[in-house]
């Protein structure tokens, strides 16, 4: 589509980079761009400084006239599909888009897309690694906004796009949206219910990843996840593959894990792909599932098993996902700030927890249930080793913790929380200091990435003082 002289309203600039990339891209296309956001210019200053070219601003408020006077409205992922501005755009018969729908329409390379509640970022990064140099990551990251990467991707002679796509983007997809060639749903757990209202609504948004696929496309599902039958009830037209930590049913094709071995099942016959006897102990069971999803997606994208298996030994740590940021004989520090749900934090607790583990958790609630998370804490974290950041989720957690955790401290200051937790860890040798909040970050932090960066900076400053 030619966007020259089209009146484009970028609805939501934000601070994570996607809004800036979207606005700059449309400006480069010659569109007449207006940017609106409920935040004012002082709050948005870091993003405003990165805009290039000519544009109009309408900040600190929302005016329906901004929508009325536009041809195309491009909504930020923070704007729900059922919100009043989106309803107004449809009522006024405007072309409604987000950065993902634009990207999918204009990208000239095949796309392998990954969504899910947990594990999608690790799966995406490992998938890119398993595919080798041909693969380019795009989306759901402050480092790789979709429309910032689009020109580079389209100029490449040969490339495969690996797209991490959240429900906030997928809920704007329709049956006419260009589908990914390979779609992966890692799992579905309780999350974002403040946005999607029900688990069915959340699952319906995720299902957008495959709703426009055809019989020549591939859909990869988690055979162990309780929501997989719900996705199958949508009658996907694509070829369905599965990954599992146990043997697949005879009728299912895909990869499964059997005592340190990766097995491929096709038409009821099992074939050994590779042996990984130490992988589960090193990375944890949840990362076995992520690896199986990444391997299966790489194969369906067109990579050979020999290349896939040869790259497993050099899998990268993923930033802010159970990332070991410091390790010595006496102290290990793990940044798992993107564990924004109880299930994500539980995975880290099961992997790193023990009598020497000091856990920093808590934050803002998204209508989560913490019963199972509390059980994992009681099993793995001593009462004196739990430190909580304040927020609505923390209030829920405190109500569920047993009496022996009654004195668990709650901090309004992240510096005080980090300091107290580090002091506790230093009094034990060896110790593990684990930031795995199990909650959103809004309140004390701008977002989970801000939380992770502040934790890294705190640890870096501690190490600098220690070495002086």
Is this prediction's pTM over 0.75? yes
The predicted-structure confidence for 164-202, as pLDDT tens digits, reads as follows 999 999 999 998 999 999 999 999 998 887 889 899 999
Residue 28: helix, strand or coil by DSSP? Answer: helix
Domains of the chain: 7-97 (3.40.50.720), 100-314 (3.40.1190.10), 323-467 (3.90.190.20)
- Which residues contact residue 78 at a Cβ distance below 8 angstroms, ignoring those fewer than 6 apart? 12, 14, 168
The predicted-structure confidence for 287-322, as pLDDT tens digits, reads as follows 999 999 999 999 999 999 999 999 999 999 888 989
Neighbour-count burial of 438, counting CB atoms closer than 10 A to its CB (0-12 exposed, 13-18 middle, 19+ buried): buried
Confidence of residue 468 (pLDDT cuts 50, 70, 90): low
Least confident range from 132-146, 222-236, 252-266, 400-414: namely: 132-146
Q: What is the pLDDT of residue 464?
A: 86
Neighbour-count burial of 294, counting CB atoms closer than 10 A to its CB (0-12 exposed, 13-18 middle, 19+ buried): buried
Residue 242, strand partner residues: 221, 254
Which tokens belong to 38?
A: 């409920």
């Amino acid at each position: 589509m030619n966007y020259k002289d089209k009146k484009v309203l970028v609805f939501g600039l934000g601070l994570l980079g996607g809004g800036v990339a979207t606005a700059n891209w449309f400006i480069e296309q010659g569109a007449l761009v207006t940017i609106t956001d409920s935040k004012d210019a002082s709050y948005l200053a870091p993003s405003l400084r990165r805009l290039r070219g000519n544009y109009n601003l309408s900040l600190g408020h929302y005016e329906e006239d901004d929508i009325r006077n536009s041809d195309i409205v491009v909504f930020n992922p923070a704007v729900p599909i059922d919100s009043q501005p989106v309803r107004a755009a449809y009522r006024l018969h405007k072309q409604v888009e987000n950065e993902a729908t634009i990207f999918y329409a204009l990208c000239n390379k095949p796309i392998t897309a990954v969504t899910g509640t947990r594990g999608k970022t690790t799966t995406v990064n490992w998938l890119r690694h398993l595919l080798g140099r041909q693969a380019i990551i795009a989306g759901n990251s402050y480092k790789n906004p979709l429309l910032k990467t689009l020109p580079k991707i389209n100029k490449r002679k040969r490339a495969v796009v690996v797209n991490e796509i959240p429900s906030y983007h997928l809920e704007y997809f329709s049956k006419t949206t260009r589908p990914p060639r390979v779609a992966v749903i890692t799992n579905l757990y309780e999350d974002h219910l403040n946005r999607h209202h029900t688990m069915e609504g959340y699952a319906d948004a995720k299902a957008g990843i495959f709703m426009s696929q055809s019989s020549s496309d591939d859909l990869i599902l988690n055979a162990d996840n309780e929501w997989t039958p719900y996705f199958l009830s949508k009658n996907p037209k694509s070829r369905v593959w599965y990954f599992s930590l146990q043997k697949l049913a005879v009728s299912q094709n895909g990869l499964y894990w059997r005592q340190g071995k990766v097995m491929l099942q096709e038409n009821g016959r099992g074939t050994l792909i590779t042996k990984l006897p130490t992988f589960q102990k090193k990375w944890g069971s949840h990362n076995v599932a992520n690896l199986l999803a990444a391997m299966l997606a790489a194969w369906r994208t067109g990579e050979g098993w020999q290349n896939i298996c040869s790259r497993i030994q050099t899998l990268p740590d993923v930033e802010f996902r159970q990332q070991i940021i410091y390790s010595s004989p006496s102290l290990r520090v793990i940044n798992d700030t993107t564990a924004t749900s109880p299930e994500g934090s539980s995975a880290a607790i099961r992997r790193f927890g023990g009598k020497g583990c000091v856990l920093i958790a808590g934050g803002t609630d998204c209508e989560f249930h913490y019963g199972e998370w509390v059980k994992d804490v009681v099993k793995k974290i001593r009462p004196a080793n739990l430190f909580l950041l304040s927020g609505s989720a923390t209030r829920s957690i405190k109500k569920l913790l047993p009496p022996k955790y009654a004195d668990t401290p709650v901090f309004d200051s992240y510096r005080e929380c980090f300091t107290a937790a580090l002091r506790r860890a230093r009094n034990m040798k060896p110790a593990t200091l684990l930031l795995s909040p199990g909650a959103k970050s809004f309140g004390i932090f701008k977002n989970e990435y801000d939380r992770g960066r502040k934790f890294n900076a705190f640890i870096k400053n501690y190490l600098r003082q220690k070495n002086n």
